[in-house]
Amino acid sequence: MSQQTPDREAVPEMANRLGIDGIEFIEYATSRPQALGQVLESMGFRPVARHRSREIILYRQGGMNLVVNAHPDDARVSATVGGHPMISAVAFRVQDALKAHTRCMALGAWDVPSHVQAMELHIPGIRGPGGSRFYFVDRWQEFSIYDIDFVPIPTVDLKPPALAGMSYFGLVQYIGAARSADWIAYYERMFDFSLIPDEQRFGILPKGTLMRSPCGRFLWQLIEPDPMMDDDEAPECLQRLGIGVPDVNAAVSLLKSRGVEFVESAQLHPEDRGALTRTVLGAVSFELVHQVV
């Protein structure tokens, strides 16, 4: 997928109008939760809690929360092809969730209807690419959404440490052909993301357009179809999770010892800047990126 702010802030009031302050959780939808759970555990995530009323498990390591949604009544779960997991939601930490949601709706976002049950929190959200969702969470410090909606799994450590200093670095979104300008405008207008100059690159995959969140805590990469490949009709989606580590080679060695396989080829192989895990379960891969602490 660096963190130097480009000079694109000609309008000061556009700095961070939603009060975004990082990623609260990533959600995968799948009808094969056990298989995905094994993959996540090999990457260092640990199951720590279960949702009160839905087939959803919270995984965690360090400051990263990741939920696996296998609830059969969720349209995103039933829409997965062959049960292959897909990134179905990203929750942004914000100062005021209602205000953030209201502003996005005023800008033309599509609302996500709420189906909360008794004793559950309403988390406002809008529709994202490919049927995914963007949620807004303002309860993420001393009191969090998990204190209400989830029940801890007995005897487990609720705050397992992160392997190799891992933290969320960003996400990769696959977009349609010639759609970069549309999505850049969307993220600039809706969330106040800003473009990163082409000469600034992170990780080992040079493709696409990079954008930085207004809080500077994570990046977003937009990738159009390869013009040499016949995949122009592939659906737009959130494709891959980027994980930052202070030492890529050390992280790769540790993960290999846990059974994680990495892409090794003449064109792509682990190096100091980054590494890419092999795709498993048809759709799941992670990109390690060198991140200066």
pLDDT, tens digit, for every residue of 60-76? Answer: 999 999 999 998 887 78
Question: Tokens representing 191?
Answer: 């969330």
**Residues contacting residue 48 through CB under 8 Å, at least 6 positions apart:** 58, 59, 60, 152, 153, 156, 157, 158, 159, 160
Measured CA to CA in angstroms, residue 4 lies from 7, 10, 102, 215 at distances of 9, 16, 30, 12
Residue ranges of the chain whose pLDDT lies below 50: 2-12, 118-119
- Is residue 217 within 8 A of residue 90, CB to CB? The reply is no
Q: Under 8 Å CB-to-CB from 193, ≥6 apart: which residues?
A: 187, 211, 212, 213, 214, 220
Nearest CA to 218 out of 241, 247, 186 is that of 241
First to last CA, the chain: 16
The pair phi, psi for residue 280, each rounded to 5°, is: -125, 160
Beta bridge partners of 47: 59
Q: What is the pLDDT of residue 271?
A: 86
- How far apart are alpha carbons 268 and 12 in whole angstroms? 40
Amino acid at 83: G
d(CA 112, CA 134): 9
pTM: 0.90
Half-sphere exposure of 10 (CA within 13 A, CB side): 2
The two most distant CA atoms of the chain are separated, in Å, by: 55
